[in-house]
Amino acid sequence: MSERDLDDLLDRIVAEYSDQVQAGKTPRHGAVLERVPREARPGLERCLKMIDAGLVQGPSPTRKLAPGVEFGRYRLLREIGRGGMALVWLARDTELERPVALKILRPGLAFEARHVDRFRREALAVAKLSHPNIVTIHDVGSADGYHYLAMEYVEGPSLATVLEALPDKRSTKADALIRASGIPALVQRDETFEQVLARLFASVAHALQTAHELGLVHRDVKPSNILLKKDGTPVVADFGLAKGEEDPALSLTGDTLGTPYYMSPEQAWLSDARIDHRTDVYSLGVSFYEALSGRRPFEGKTALEVFEAIKTSVPPSVRSVAPTTSKDADALIRRAMAHRPEDRYETARALAEDFEQVAQGAPTQARANQGSWLRRVRTELSFLRSGRPLEYKSARTFLGLPLVHIVRRRRPGEPLRIAKGWYASGEIAIGGIATGGIALGGIALGGLAAGLLFSWGGLALALGVAFGGMALGVVGIGGIAGGALAFGGMAFGYAAIGGLARGVYAIGGDASGRYVVTEGREDPEAVAFFEQDWLGMFDWLLQAARGDG
């Protein structure tokens, strides 16, 4: 059963059950619950108990939502959208003779006050706002058990619909946006694809600034909540999650969350941390990233996987996904999506100003302030200090590998991940320079390290120099060392230097081989071999063995 079919079934069952209770009948819960999948039964049973207790009354089953049904002054025409919380119908205001978008709370949700409060909060939030880029609320009310909002009807598509209609590989030509939206006025003369989007997002940022100045944070900024009028004007809709900045974050144990893909890290932690206007700055940056590249910066098979990615990962640069993106747009997104709120734009107005710069093809403040690539990396990895799990993969690559790939601590229940890059760091790391529990690379440092040139670890293997508790290499240096040149507590090799040394040439406290320097024995060939210039660094050991040092 699809999610849409299940929602419709639950609404129908609740209405029928409420009608039977009002008629004096006492339906058995078990028979009712068997009509829905097991995972939907706890929520449905809670609704049934509330109806039994007389705490709530469901909508009449004879008032099913359908074309022609009237709610006071509003006549339903056709359904135009739906979500987990509400249905949206195109309706006719019979008094003012104008079309409206009637947003109707799902009947099953009306049984819990928090859902109704959130629904009414949207009307109260938008009623405070007056801005050409914010949808207008005309009315709020209830009828026959249904709660509704009457809003300005925006005839054009949402930005999400437009983005879905674009090809996966983004174009630099703005005509693609006209074809996807069906709105010729969306594009102004000589604008590029990026410039059109930046101009639209600038208007959205200014609208959010107006909300922020009144102490309201939208909390669910995303392309589907940006509607496009027929003249190309964007308007922000769905302030259902809007709250004042003094309110705590929404959580899984509290109200309904925003869409995971666009949530800020502080939202994704699902904690009681304070959420301020900078969460909207972040979400708008995510939306711009998606618009330019055709992909979201964070993905996952489940909401929890998306949450973990947002909390612990730095997204790849938008230029690594969409190479035609300008450096100024890339810098704007980096700053808007900074992991720590204090590293983002201080206000939505400052973000809007940089959007306007991108729209004009002019330098952004974000790019002017971002500094060298090293400073950018430090900023992106600033949350290393938190000690939380993280993953960082640099946008810059060479021969298909990122310059830097760092994996720190596994997420709960997550399988072991491998860090691969020219510099790689993780539980298992493979790279030019690799550090980790198991490290494989040109230069490797780890518990088990295997390096082409150099390795350092508990067990170190190298074709070059190996340092470790047990070291095997052309040059091996360690507690137990093996190699063409071996230097350690126990050394085995062509030339061996150590407490216990075994080799063709051996020097040490207990040395044996063809040519040996040890207590009571100094073969001239061994002395000559170990006095060569290329072994000058070990002169001190030779002197010590002779008793000269």
Summarize pLDDT for 470-525 with one digit per residue, the tens: 877 777 777 888 878 888 788 888 888 888 888 888 888 888 889 988 888 888 88
Q: How far is CA 352 from CA 115, 330, 337, 344, 455, in A?
A: 33, 15, 14, 13, 50
152, 175, 199 — which closes off a domain? 152
Q: Is the residue at 479 inside a domain?
A: yes
Q: Is the residue at 385 inside a domain?
A: no
Count of domains for the chain = 3
Both 335 and 412 in one domain: the answer is no
pLDDT of 345 = 96
Q: How far is CA 129 from CA 34, 214, 268, 358, 532, in A?
A: 46, 8, 27, 27, 85
Both 319 and 465 in one domain: the answer is no
Q: Is the residue at 378 inside a domain?
A: no
> Has residue 315 got a pLDDT over 90?
no
Q: What's 102's domain CATH number?
A: 3.30.200.20
pLDDT of 56 = 53
Rounded to 5°, angle at Cα 18 from 21 and 115: 140
- Rounded Cα distance between 467 and 477, Å, is 5
- Rounded Cα distance between 471 and 349, Å, is 59
Both 346 and 454 in one domain: the answer is no
Q: What's 285's domain CATH number?
A: 1.10.510.10
pTM here is: 0.67
Both 89 and 121 in one domain: the answer is yes
pLDDT of 202 = 97
Both 122 and 191 in one domain: the answer is no
Both 138 and 177 in one domain: the answer is no
Q: Which residue has the tokens 């074309």?
A: 67
Bridge partners for 404 per DSSP: 423
> Has residue 285 got a pLDDT over 70?
yes
Q: Which of 7, 220, 238, 328 is catalytic?
A: 220
Q: Is the residue at 379 inside a domain?
A: no
Q: Is the residue at 324 inside a domain?
A: yes
Both 472 and 330 in one domain: the answer is no
Both 135 and 165 in one domain: the answer is no
Q: Which of 541, 535, 545, 481 is nearest to 509 (CA)?
A: 545
For residues 138 and 151, the answer to whether their CB atoms sit within 8 Å is: yes
Q: Under 8 Å CB-to-CB from 31, ≥6 apart: which residues?
A: none
Q: How confident is the model at residue 246 (pLDDT cuts 50, 70, 90)?
A: very low
- Rounded Cα distance between 204 and 349, Å, is 10
DSSP assignment of 193-233, as one string?
HHHHHHHHHHHHHHHHHHHHHTTEE-----GGGEEE-TTS-
Q: How confident is the model at residue 93 (pLDDT cuts 50, 70, 90)?
A: very high
Q: How confident is the model at residue 198 (pLDDT cuts 50, 70, 90)?
A: very high
Average pLDDT of span 147-152: 86
Q: Is the residue at 375 inside a domain?
A: no
Q: How far is CA 8 from CA 1, 47, 89, 143, 353, in A?
A: 11, 15, 15, 19, 44
pLDDT of 253 = 33
> Has residue 250 got a pLDDT over 50?
no
Q: Which of 242, 243, 233, 343 is nearest to 285 (CA)?
A: 343
475-518/465-472 β-pairing: parallel
465-472/418-462 β-pairing: parallel
Q: Considering only residues 196 and 477, tell me which one the structure prediction assigns the higher pLDDT.
A: 196
Both 115 and 194 in one domain: the answer is no
- Rounded Cα distance between 393 and 316, Å, is 7
- Rounded Cα distance between 123 and 536, Å, is 83
Q: Is the residue at 386 inside a domain?
A: no
Average pLDDT value over all residues in the chain: 79
pLDDT of 215 = 86
> Has residue 412 got a pLDDT over 60?
no
Both 58 and 171 in one domain: the answer is no
Both 483 and 540 in one domain: the answer is yes
Structure tokens at 440: 């494989």
Q: Which residue has the tokens 């666009």?
A: 262
Q: Which residue has the tokens 């293997």?
A: 461
- Rounded Cα distance between 47 and 478, Å, is 70
Both 261 and 173 in one domain: the answer is yes
Task: Name the residue range of residue 111's domain.
Answer: 3-152
What's the start-to-end Cα distance of the chain, in Å?
A: 85
370, 402, 436 — which closes off a domain? 370
Q: Which of 522, 523, 526, 530 is nearest to 546 (CA)?
A: 522
pLDDT of 273 = 62
Q: How far is CA 78 from CA 160, 228, 497, in A?
A: 21, 20, 88
Q: Is the residue at 387 inside a domain?
A: no
370, 403, 423 — which closes off a domain? 370
Note every long-range contact of 133-137, with CB atoms under 8 Å and residues 24 or more positions apart, other chains counting.
Answer: 133/203, 133/204, 133/206, 133/207, 133/233, 133/234, 133/235, 133/236, 134/207, 134/210, 134/211, 134/235, 134/236, 135/227, 135/235, 135/236, 135/237
Q: Which segment, 83-97, 422-436, 455-469, is predicted with the most confidence on average?
A: 83-97
**Rounded to the nearest 10 degrees, what angle do helices 327-336 and 348-359 cross at?**
170
DSSP assignment of 385-408, as one string?
GG---EEEE-S-EETTEESEEEEE
| pLDDT tens digits, one per residue of 104-142 | 887 666 555 666 676 777 677 777 788 999 988 888 888
pLDDT of 251 = 35
220 is catalytic: yes
